[in-house]
Amino acid sequence: MSPADLATAGTDVLVAGTLVLWAALVVRAPAALRSPPRRRMLIALASLATSITIALDPVAGLLERAFRPGTSCGIVTNVWGVISSALILDFVLAATSRRRPLLVYGGAAVAGTTLVLLTTGAATTGCVTPADAPWFGLFWWLLCLAHVLGTGPAAVLCARYARRATTRPLRAGLSMLTAGFASSTVFWGVVVPAYLVTLSPWLGAAFSLNAGLTAWIMALGVALPQLLRMHRAAGDRRTARRLEPVWRRLVTSVPHVHLPESGHWASDLRLYRRIIEIRDAILVLADYAGADTIEAARAHVRGRRGAEALAAACWLPLAQAAKARGEAPRAAAAATNESGTEWADEVAFALTLAEHWDSPLVRAFRQEPQRQR
């Protein structure tokens, strides 16, 4: 592979990553706009996406034609990079309750004006090159410093909040944003200075690939929390459908445990209500089964995986039948909840109950002669 091949592959990655990043930002924008902290983060990420976008050849060419005569597309791109870094730094300071907009944006204005003055009169075609502003000049060091001051603290902030995140989607999203800001920091803090010193064609060819990877990582950081929530919601809906038959049987027998529903409930809340109502119905029906029947059911399934749920599947229909016949509840029945103390245990218990309600093992218990009395 030659540097030209690397540059071509990097451009493909960059174009695709930029499109995906913008799509992710557009999808997340409605929710982010309702929250000031999320809105600031969205603005910071959109500014970074804009920096990547205007560096693409088609967009850079349009800028070059739009700003002739005068400054080239290179200085427009680089000045926007300074502004983007200021927006990112402002987001970081706001998140830490240390916002200094005058200092941040005033410094960006000074840095941007300095970049313009340093390249005034340069006969540039395309982006600013080391021929226009050599590596030892103020232009490049000021530009690299501006980018690092924005993306470096943002990487640290996202890493800190990722460690404190209480949900998996939020932790995953913040971790990806940490990687994205860190990638940009490495690019401007290491790759660009190394290229300016060595003029290595391989480092120059890797620019597009590095920016493309940053775009992809950022896109994942923006989209991943929503994707994980959608995946979890789909799983909740599947679980609720699997529990539907047994839930209906139980709330029909014990209707007072079923509370009115709203058609606008989220899938996780609907599943939660299903599980709670199943558990409450089991606690009520246990009094109609009696301690002897419950213990016999436990002995019937002892040693099997999910034994408590299997035992409940054995005795619940008998308790339902007793309640339907009008029998009185039996005192001192074993009405304890053995499904577990964790939510995952509750769900697993209910799923096992639903899966084995009519299994051969359970039917064998119900059909024993002594159960028919």
* pLDDT reported for residue 20: 93
Nearest by Cα to 154 from 33, 304, 44: 44
Nearest by Cα to 219 from 9, 36, 53, 6: 53
d(CA 104, CA 28): 26
Q: With the C-alpha atoms ordered 282, 285, 287, 288, is the resulting torsion angle positive or negative?
A: negative
* pLDDT reported for residue 201: 87
* pLDDT reported for residue 62: 67
* pLDDT reported for residue 156: 92
Tokens of 307: 């034994």
Contacts of residue 309, defined as CB under 8 A and 6 or more positions apart, other chains included, come to 339, 348, 349, 350, 352, 353, 356
d(CA 297, CA 338): 14
Helices (H) and strands (E) in the chain, counts: 15, 0
pTM of the full structure: 0.70
* pLDDT reported for residue 306: 84
* pLDDT reported for residue 242: 92
* pLDDT reported for residue 153: 92
| CB-CB contact of 85 with 108 (8 Å) | yes
d(CA 154, CA 200): 29
Q: With the C-alpha atoms ordered 115, 118, 119, 120, is the resulting torsion angle positive or negative?
A: positive
Give the pLDDT means over successive 10-residue stretches in the chain (373 positions).
84 90 89 81 88 78 57 71 90 85 90 83 54 67 90 91 85 90 92 86 87 91 86 89 91 85 74 90 87 85 86 88 80 49 84 89 74 49
Residue 327 DSSP symbol: P
